[in-house]
Amino acid sequence: MDIHPSQPRLRLVGSDDPKAVTSWRAARDVADENRAAAGNPSLDPTDPRWVLAARTHSQLQGSTLTPERRARVLRTARQLGVRPFEASVIIAIVQDHARRGSPLAKAADTLTLLRDPRPRPTQHETWARWLAAAVTALAATALLIWWLISA
């Protein structure tokens, strides 16, 4: 194969730099996870179990989770309405898949075994419910008193 002098020779630059190679691998891993997540038919991308699994996966250092990052993941779980025990199970599932080198998308079937958490009402919603209950009770009491007096 003859290379004409006017054709540039292309070569891979930075292949001897470990930092560059690591960042290339990280970018490839992210792209692989995105492709796998896009083809995940068993869980909705907004499902709290899946969201927590993805957040956990992003916090991993290899297959380990530092105490600070674990606290962050558990705080996210609480915000998503996932109970602490189920959050710990999700963390264990994600770490197990990371240890085996399996893509996160393969954990979807296992995650569906956990109950689907319902979002907890916010503090504002809770107060609004209590206020509505109190107003209803007062109105019912007033109607009952009016009925007793008018009879």
Mean per-residue pLDDT, 25-36: 68
Same domain, 98 and 109: yes
Segments forming the whole domain that contains residue 112: 18-119
Q: Record the pTM.
A: 0.52
Tell whether 110 and 126 lie within a shared domain: no
Residues 149 and 97 in one domain: no
pLDDT of 65 higher than 80: yes
* Same domain as 70, residue 33: yes
Is the same domain home to 81 and 142?
no
Q: b/e string for 43-61 if b means 16 or more Cβ within 10 A?
A: beeebbbbbbbbbbbebbe
Give the model confidence (pLDDT) of 96-150 as tens digits.
999 999 888 888 888 888 887 765 678 899 999 999 999 999 999 999 999 999 9
> Do 40 and 63 fall into the same domain?
yes
Residues 84 and 130 in one domain: no
| Alpha carbon separation from 67 to 53, 126, 143 (Å, rounded) | 17, 32, 57
Q: Are residues 95 and 133 in the same domain?
A: no
Tell which residue, 90, 147, 144, has the closest CA to residue 116: 90
pLDDT grade for 78, boundaries at 50, 70 and 90? very high
Specify the residue for token string 């109105």: 139
Please give the tally of structural domains in the chain: 2
